């Protein structure tokens, strides 16, 4: 089987990492059960931008990529891929199956895979049953593609399942952001002014983690509802222009672009730390920084110290890409079990009931969200209360759920 990884001799280390991660309570048992059924041979050929067959170019998944390759599964993944290598890795996943048939499903993380197929490999589209998308930005792009008539496949927005966005984006970032900053800089966070751009689920988790370490957290926001939430949770809310000169740590978490630009960078204090916890690499204007800094000193992998014309210094983490992946190892496996459980169930839904998914962007039903949450409770020794028949009748909901209407905001 074809593969390209950093060092296949480290596969045993990857096996040990995976054994620890396999305590995730739902995904592994579900897959084990599925593999024992006769449906196994009819499973789709899934091209994935996740770690199984390709990878996000800065993600620290060396061990698991090696173990996957050693198990005979096609994988094209190593840390520090160039943009060209990243694109080539994705291309190689499109036909990397035992019988050399092309993919017939897509599991995407950010939209690169669907964009590549629709732009460069449209011949595969008739044989693809659908795609599932993992990220906030990727889901936004799918909705835009559909509005513009450019989406050619049915898609499921996994990101906005509650057990994804409220868990991966919020609780996952609450742990992995600080993990990345600490591994990269060893800086003490207590007493520092930490600026978090964006108070969505990622921003909420990021801000909460920084405050827990004793940082004085300032939020920037465009949305009045999110800004009001931040203020009522005790955060100062202001503009990047106002806070740039007094922030010690800057974290972008918006999913947009041009959040931290040159006019902000020149105002920052000595050795301000700048990092991105949102998506892609355009929230921080790294191109401006490279063009205008007097020099740059690579302190260690993913940590660069820029000397500005004023003589002050800026520490940029992960080259402006996702700091929790570039400088740490991403989210803990437990919270990723929630995300990937949604992905697996979405893939199964597209594959087994294609008649329910015309071309467009769809959501998983509330029942599946609750199923994912329920499956994780025993791992935390959580015991649910069961509705009585009279209570269910009074509330006008089924005893077994779903317990909230689709519009309910958790």
- Annotated binding-site residues for NAD(+) read 200-205, 221, 226, 324, 331
Q: Which residues, in sequence order, are CB contacts of 387 under 8 Å at separation 6+? A: 395, 397, 399
Pairwise CA distance, residues 61 & 28, whole Å:
18
User: Is 328 in contact with 176 (CB distance < 8 Å)?
Assistant: yes
Which of 66, 117, 64 lies closest to 91 in space, CA to CA? Answer: 117
User: What is the chain's alpha carbon radius of gyration, rounded to the nearest angstrom?
Assistant: 22
Strands in 216-220's sheet, in edge-to-edge order, are 236-237, 216-220, 193-197, 249-252, 272-276, 313-317, 303-307, 295-300
Q: Mark the binding-site residues, compressed into ranges.
A: 200-205, 221, 226, 324, 331
**Residue entry with tokens 């996702």:** 322
Pairwise CA distance, residues 206 & 234, whole Å:
14
Which 8-state DSSP code applies to residue 236? E
- Residue 211: exposure state from Cβ atoms within 10 A (0-12, 13-18, ≥19): middle
Pairwise CA distance, residues 194 & 58, whole Å:
24
């Amino acid at each position: 089987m074809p593969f390209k990884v950093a060092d296949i001799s480290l596969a045993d280390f990857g096996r040990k990492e995976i054994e620890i991660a396999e305590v995730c309570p739902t995904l592994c048992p579900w897959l084990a059960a599925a593999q024992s059924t006769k449906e196994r041979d009819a499973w789709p050929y899934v091209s994935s931008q996740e770690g199984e067959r390709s990878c996000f170019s800065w993600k620290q998944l060396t061990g698991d990529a090696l173990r996957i390759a050693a198990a005979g599964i096609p994988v094209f993944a190593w840390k520090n891929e160039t943009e060209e290598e990243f694109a080539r890795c994705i291309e190689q996943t499109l036909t990397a199956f035992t019988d050399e048939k092309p993919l017939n499903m897509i599991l995407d993380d950010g939209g690169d895979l669907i964009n590549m197929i629709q732009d460069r490999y449209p011949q595969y589209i008739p044989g693809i049953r659908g795609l599932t998308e993992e990220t906030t930005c990727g889901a936004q792009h799918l909705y835009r593609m559909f509005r513009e008539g450019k989406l050619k496949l049915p898609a499921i927005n996994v990101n906005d399942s509650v057990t994804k966005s409220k868990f991966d984006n919020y609780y996952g970032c609450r742990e992995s952001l600080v993990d990345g900053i600490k591994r990269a800089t060893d800086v003490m966070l207590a007493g520092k002014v930490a600026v978090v751009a964006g108070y969505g689920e990622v921003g909420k988790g990021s801000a909460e983690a920084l405050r827990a370490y004793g940082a004085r957290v300032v939020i920037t926001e465009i949305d009045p509802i999110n800004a009001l939430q931040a203020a009522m949770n005790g955060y100062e809310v202001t503009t990047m222009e106002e806070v740039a000169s007094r922030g010690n740590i800057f974290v972008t978490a918006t999913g947009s672009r041009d959040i931290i630009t040159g006019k902000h960078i020149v105002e920052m204090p000595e050795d301000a730390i700048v990092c991105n916890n949102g998506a892609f690499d355009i929230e921080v204007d790294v191109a401006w920084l490279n063009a205008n800094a007097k020099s740059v000193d690579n302190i260690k992998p993913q940590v660069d110290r820029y000397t500005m014309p004023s003589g002050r210094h800026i520490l940029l983490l992960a080259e402006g890409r996702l700091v929790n992946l570039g400088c740490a190892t991403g989210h803990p496996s437990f919270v990723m079990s929630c995300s990937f459980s949604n992905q697996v169930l979405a893939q199964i839904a597209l594959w087994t009931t294609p008649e329910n998914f015309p071309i467009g962007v769809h959501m998983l039903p509330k029942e599946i969200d609750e199923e994912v949450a329920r499956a994780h409770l025993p791992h935390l020794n959580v015991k649910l209360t069961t509705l009585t028949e009279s209570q269910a009748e009074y509330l006008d909901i089924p005893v077994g759920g779903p317990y909230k209407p689709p519009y309910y905001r958790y």
